[in-house]
Each structure stands twice: as structure tokens, then as C-alpha cells.
């Protein structure tokens, strides 16, 4: 059986480490967890996983990152992989970016930092069950 993955994108290492702990606690070894510190790195990981026939189920992305912002990144992903569930986790995203994501990338949910880990994991569980 091929594995499925959850991808987290944030330029702050501490955020990625925190998400990894939360995912491990919630889902254990059910999924592969991939982490990227930029949208460009995330796009490379997405291509590699696609080549390995690993299906990405959820992407959790920051908005304000160097290079490509999270809204541009998630819209780009949505154009190639519309079924991936997209969650924004941000300290600062403008309302226009969030509205644009809802309209153009089917944004599932937006959380603001600092986030409630239980609420985020419950939202991702619900997204996984509905996909």
C-alpha cells in the first residue's frame, strides 16, 4: 500500500518542529510528514513525492515567507493538485490573501499563530475524513 503524506511549509523551524510533534501525537505513523522552509522547497518535495507515487493529502502553509508567499504557493499547488486539502497557518495574512485563497484554491481553513494544537488537529482529522 502506498503511503500518504502531510506537508508543512513555514520559514520558522520552531513552527515545523511543533507541528511534527502534534502530528506524531495525533496520527502516529499513519502518514509521512514532510517539512519545507519555503514555497520553492515545498514545490520540490511535492514533485519528488509525486514521482514516488506518494499522495499528499494535506498542506499546512504559512503565508508570510521569503520568496513566494503562501497564497501564491497554495494557488499554484491547487492548479496541479486540486484535491489536496489546504490549510493556512499564519501570524499575519491580509484578508485579501485569505479571501483569494478561498476563491482560487479552495482553502479549507485558516488558523492564526499562536494556534490551538487540538483545534488544528481536529480540523485536519475532519478534512482527511471528508477527502
The bridge status of strand 32-36 relative to strand 109-112 is: unpaired
| pLDDT tens for each residue of the chain, 131 residues long | 568 999 999 999 999 999 999 999 999 999 999 999 999 999 999 999 999 999 999 999 999 999 999 999 999 999 999 999 999 999 987 889 999 999 999 999 999 999 999 999 999 999 998 87
Residues 6+ apart with CB under 8 A from 3: 31, 32, 54
Is the bond preceding 107 in cis, omega lying within 30 degrees of 0? no
Which residue segments constitute the domains of the chain, with CATH numbers given? 4-130 (3.40.50.2300)
Amino acid at each position: 500500500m502506498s503511503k500518504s503524506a502531510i506537508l508543512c511549509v513555514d520559514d520558522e523551524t520552531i513552527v515545523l518542529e511543533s507541528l511534527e510533534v502534534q502530528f506524531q501525537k495525533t496520527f502516529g505513523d499513519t502518514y509521512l510528514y514532510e517539512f519545507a522552509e519555503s514555497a520553492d522547497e515545498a514545490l520540490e518535495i511535492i514533485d519528488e513525492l509525486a514521482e514516488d507515487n506518494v499522495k499528499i493529502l494535506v498542506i499546512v502553509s504559512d503565508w508570510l515567507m521569503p520568496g513566494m508567499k503562501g497564497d501564491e504557493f497554495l494557488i499554484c499547488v491547487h492548479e496541479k493538485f486540486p484535491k489536496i486539502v489546504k490549510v493556512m497557518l499564519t501570524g499575519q495574512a491580509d484578508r485579501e490573501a485569505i479571501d483569494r485563497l478561498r476563491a482560487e484554491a479552495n482553502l479549507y481553513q485558516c488558523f492564526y499563530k499562536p494556534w490551538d494544537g487540538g483545534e488544528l488537529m481536529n480540523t485536519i482529522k475532519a478534512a482527511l475524513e471528508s477527502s
